[in-house]
Structure formats: structure tokens, C-alpha cells
Structure 1
Amino acid sequence: MVRTVVAGLDGSAESRAAAEWAAREAASRGLPLKLLHVSEPVPEPMAQAPLLGGETLQYWSEKVPRDAADGIRLRHPGLEVDMQDVAGRPAEILAEAGRDAELLVLGSGRLSGISGFLPGSVGLAVVAHAEGPVVMVRAGEQAADEHEPDLAGIPAAGTPFRPVVLGLDTDDPDDSMIEFAFEEAARRETALRAVSAWNLPPYYVYGLSLDPQYHDEIARQKAAELSEVLRPWRQKYPSVELVEVSRSDSPGRQLIDASREASLVVVGRRVRRRSFGAHIGPVTHAVLHHSAVPVAVLPHH
């Protein structure tokens, strides 16, 4: 079965931005793009209303992905674009579509007044349950936003890509996350910035340690751990410039700060099967809400 890049589409500005991002990603990977429009069932009384009849609903359900597909074909000649309209619960259908997709791309509304996302309940539910990579793209995202500024200080599609940022936990590194980040950096011919943030032990934070060199010792140890985790990947991807960042700080804050000069942020979500549902973790949750650029979330055990 041919793998595809799938973009969830609902006609909103954020989903259109996600579809455009997905089209660029599919073209760079040499894969087809599927635009998936999910229509929630309309209650029977509304479906019988003159302006919301079955024919009207069917027309708009087909028009949204068709118009988007036509526009993408014009802007991305040669890209294979498929469209599909499915009725059902969006979160469930999108998560299922992501199971067999190379990548699932969703839109996310932009926060008012500051950089970042406003992930809706559907997007968060998909991220929390998807079994493959999910990328959240903010409304208004442009191709030029991924690139370095030109001589006039304006981001332009003709300049090099900004770095890819990887959030890495050296205590529990996941190979699929690391490989995904290196592949994205290699495809963009840009640097990979691996960020590992850590916290000092409580007894040091509260001033109970009398050794002034203790912080420096821990810092060296953590930096060495990061280098050791990445050592085989440096060898596997020699063409990718790797920048290692190991600091004592909040992981979420470090990644949000790094996102301001990035083209993509890659984070993980630990798969936990619990009776009260799946969760995405506090760091990923913070990055999803406040990253300045698209965020790729990879599930791992």
C-alpha cells in the first residue's frame, strides 16, 4: 500500500494552511496527498430544514475538499492529490486515518496577540490517540515562514530553511523521534537543534547544597548524556549540522523559545493506556499551545 500524507480539512483558515503545509511536505517526500473532509452527522430536524437539506449538506461537503484540491494542484504541479469526504466523528476518523498515513497534518487556530496555537478539542484528541506522527499547523502559516530572512530582513522562500528543533529527554530517548527530526532537517538541508532541558535536584534548588561546583558538574554530565544519545545519529546523518543544547530550565519554555527561530518543532507523546483516556504530557501540551511554528508530535512507548 502506498503511504500518503493526509491533511484534515474543514474549510477553516487553519485547515487550509495545514493542507498547504501538507502539500509541500508530500512533494518533498515524493508522496501523494490526501485531503480528508469529515462531516459530522446533522440531527434529523436540521437535516430536514429547507436551507440545510440533504442535498445542500452534500454539496458543501463535496465543495470544500474539491476546491482545496483544485487549488493545490494549481500551486503544486505534478503532486498527486486525492480528496475524500467521510461522515462521522472527526476525532475518531482522523486518528484512524493517521494510522496508515506517513504523516497526518491538522490545522490549529492562532492565539490572539501572541505567537502560538489554540488547539481545539478535535486536534488535541487526535494528537492524544493517533498512532503515527501528527503535525499541527497554525492559521496563517506561509511557506516563507520556514525560511531565514533575506537581506531586507524578510523571510523568503528562496533563502535557506530555518533549523528543525527536537525536544529530547536523555533519560528516555526515542529512536523514532530522533530519526524523524534528522530526516526533516536533511530534507530541508538545514541544521537540527537538539534541546534537552533538565532540573536540579530539590535539595540544590532550596539551597541545601554547599558545593558551588555542583551545578557545573551536573551540567557537564547532562551535556555528555545528550552527546552520547546523539552520537550514532551524527554518524548516520553526517550532512546534517547538529547543534546540542543542554540547559537547566523548563523543557517547555526552552522549546517555545527555540521555536521562534525554527521551521519545525519535534516533540513526543508517551503512549499510556489508562482507563480515563490518553494524555499528551505537560511539555508537549505547552509547546502545542505556544510554539511559533508547526509542531510534529510523535507517539512512543
Structure 2
Amino acid sequence: MTRTVTVGLDGSRESRAASEWAAREAQLLGLPLKLVQVWEPVPDPMAQAPLLGSETQQHWTERVPREAAEGIRLRHPGLDVSTEQVSGRPAEMLTSVAKDAEVLVLGSRGLSGLGGFLVGSVGLAVVAHAERPVVLVRADAQAPDEHETAPAGTRASAAPFRPVVVGLDIESPDEELIEFAFAAAARRATSLRVVHGWNPPPYYAYGLTADLDLHDRLARRESVALAELLRPWREKHPDVEVTEESSYGTAGNHLADASRDASLVVVGRRIRRSPFGSHIGPVTHAVLHHSAAPVAVVPHP
């Protein structure tokens, strides 16, 4: 069965932005695009209310996805676009449809006056439980363009993509996460910026503030380890230019800073089988809320 790029559609500005991003990604991947609209049933007494009756339901389950699909077909000729309506709790249904997707794309609001996302409960729940990559896309005016500044007289989409940024934990690197990031950069014909944040072991902490030589030794050790980890991936993807950044401090902060000049930020999430709680991790959680660029969360064992 051919996988699709799947996007959650609810008619909001955020979901429309996600649909546009998903359409471009589907074209880069050469895959069909599926627009999925989740209708959450309301109790019978509420369903009888004039604003929540059959006409409103028909609008949301038929008109919104139909018009969205028509618009995408016009803007992206040749793209195979389908729609699907499902009924149930949005987080559960989107997590379920993600199983057959190459990637699931969701919209997310930007924080007013600040860089970053406002990730709702549905988005967080899907990210925490989906076993396929999930991308969150901003819709506000502060979201940076995916492309470098285009020369005068040319279309913005014709300009080169900004770099793809990936956060990497060298203590427990995952091949699926690294491959996703390299492949995303290769599809965009752009560079890959690998960001690694490190902190000294607790018993080094006091000495680090007083011993600059110790700090330099630890920094070199981390940089060498990062370079060695990436060496086989550079050989596997020789066309992808890679820059490595091993920096003292919290990885989430470094990734948020790097996101301002990125087309995509890629982070990982370890899969946990417990149905309870949001298993995201502190770095990924921070990036989801503070990244200025779309964020891809790649689940891995």
C-alpha cells in the first residue's frame, strides 16, 4: 500500500497552512496527499441546536475538505489529492490515521508577539502517541519563509531552501531520526545543520566554572564524538553539506535559536507503549513550543 502525506484539516487558518506545507512535501516525496477531517460527535441534545444541526455537520464534513482539496489541486497541478472524513475523538483518530502515513502534518498557532508555537492538547497527544513522523506547522505572520531571500524579480519558491536543522543526542543516537533529517535536506537540495547540546557530569560542574582548560577538553571531546558519529552518514549522503555544532548548554535552547534560519527542525521522541501521559521528552517539548520553523517529530525505539 502506498503511503500518503496526511494532514489534519479542521478549516482553521492553522490547518490550511499545514495543508499547504503538506502539499509541498508530498510533491517533494512524490506521494499522494490525503486531507483528513475529524468530526467529533456531539451529544444528541446539543446536536438539535440550530448551530450544531445537520447543516453545520454537512459544512464541516463535506464543504471544508472539498474546498480545501480543490484549492490545493489548483495551486499544485498534478498532485494526487484525496479527502477522508472520520468520526471520533480528534487525537485518537489522527493518531490512528497516522499509521498509514509517511508523515502526518498538523497546524499549530504561533505565540502572539513571541517566536514559537502554541501547541494544543490534540497536537501534543498525537505527537506523544503517533508511531509515524508528525510535523507541526505555524500559520502566523512571524513564521519564517522556508526559502532564502529570493533575488529581485524571481519567485520566492524558486530560491534555495533554508537549512534543515536536526537535534542529535550522541549518547543514544537513533538511525531513523538521522536518516529522516538527511533525507529531508537531500529532498530540498539544502544543507543539514546538526545541533548537539552538552552539559558536564555533575562532578565536573564546579570545576568547569573555574577551569577553562577543563571546559575546552570537554568541548573537544563532544565535538570529536559528534564528528565520528556523523562520518558514515556523510559518506552515505555525499551531496548533503553538513555543519556540526556541539555547544555547551541546553539542546532545546540551541535548537530554538537555530530554528530562526531553518526550513525544518527535526527532533526525536522515544516510543513508549504506556497509554498514559505525554511521552515527548524535555528537549522535544521545548522545541515544539519555541521553534520558529516547522517541527518534525520522529518517533524511534
The TM-score bracket by the shorter chain reads: over 0.9
Which structure 2 residues correspond to residues 153-192 of structure 1 after superposition, within 5 A?
156-192=156-192
Give the direction of change, closer, same or farther, for the CA distance of 1:144–1:80 in structure 2 (3 Å limit): farther
Q: Percent identity?
A: 66
Cα distance, 1:159 vs structure 2: 1.4
Match of 1:63 in 2: 63
> CA distance change for structure 1 residues 300 and 69 in 2, over 3 Å: closer, same or farther?
same
Number of positions where the alignment pairs a residue of Structure 1 with one of Structure 2: 300
- Partners of 1:109 and 1:119 lie apart in 2 by 7
Do the aligned residues in 1 keep the contact of 2:267 with 2:296 (CA within 8 Å)? yes
Aligned residue for 1:145, secondary structure, equals coil
Q: 1:143 to 1:108 in 2, by over 3 A?
A: closer
Which blocks of at least 5 consecutive residues in structure 1 are unaligned? none
* Pairing 1:29–2:50 present: no
Aligned equivalent of 1:271: 271
Q: Distance in 2 between matches of 1:224 and 1:278?
A: 34
* Structure 1 counterpart of 2:83: 83
How much does 1:92 deviate? 0.5
Q: Give the secondary structure class of the aligned counterpart of 1:146.
A: coil
Asked whether the equivalents of residues 3 and 100 of structure 1 are also in contact (C-alpha less than 8 Å), the reply is yes
Instruction: Tell me the CA shift for residue 111 of structure 1.
Output: 0.5
Task: Flag structure 2 segments of 5+ consecutive residues without an equivalent.
Answer: none
Mapping of 1:32-181 within 5 angstroms? 32-140=32-140, 145-151=145-151, 156-181=156-181
Question: How much does 1:208 deviate?
Answer: 7.3
Distance 1:208 1:3, change over 3 A: closer
Residue pair 1:17, 1:141 contacting (<8 A) in 2 also: no
1:249 paired residue number: 249
Which moves more between the two structures, 122-131 or 156-165?
156-165
Name the CA distance, whole Å, in 2 between partners of 1:6 and 1:183: 18
Q: Is the 8 A contact 2:143 2:292 kept in 1?
A: no
Q: What is the CA-CA distance between 1:144 and the residue it aligns to?
A: 7.9
Which runs of structure 2 are paired with 1:262-301 in the superposition (5 Å)? 262-274=262-274, 276-301=276-301
| RMSD (CA atoms) | 2.0
Deviation at 1:201, TM superposition (A): 2.3
In structure 1, distance between residues paired with 2:32 and 2:144 = 23
Once the two structures are superposed, what CA deviation does each residue of 1:127-155 show, in whole Å capped at 9, x if it has no partner? Answer: 00000100000114799810111356x99
CA apart distance, 1:271: 1.4
